Amino acid sequence: MQSPAFGDGDAIPARFTCDGEGVSPPIRWAAPEGAPNGLDYAVLMVDVDAPGEKFVHWLVYGLSSDGTIPEGGPVHGSQGRNTFGEQGYGGPCPPPGDDPHRYEFRLYALRSPPTPQLPGLSVDDLLGGVPDEPALATLTGTYGRG
């Protein structure tokens, strides 16, 4: 996975956070060679440094194995509910004073054949929770609020 807005391991620009416009960053992905064919794919963005359960900022599903989401959308798939309880993207917003949090964008192949999926599913509905298994591809950005 990659983004023209930030490199892997780099800071996520404030534009894509709660301190900015809160729009989703542009991302591109391609499933690695040998990934399952004929399945739907999902992109999941999680704050891996949030206390307790991993905090879901974005869930998009019904995607092809190769694709893009432009800055702010549109998304060519369905958007699920994030941990904020909203459908769509919720920008990074760690507590002020925390060290910068890491935000992982992860690509997963869904285990069932492509089927129409209603928008608004949670990560529990779609994936049975935040998966412990490694993603097919990842992009990590950081964000801190000082």
* Band of pLDDT at residue 49, cut at 50, 70 and 90: very high
pTM of this prediction?
Answer: 0.93
Ordered strands of the 41-47 beta sheet:
78-79, 55-63, 41-47, 101-109, 137-143
pLDDT 10s digits, 28-39? 998 888 877 778
Domains and CATH numbers, the chain: 14-31+38-143 (3.90.280.10)
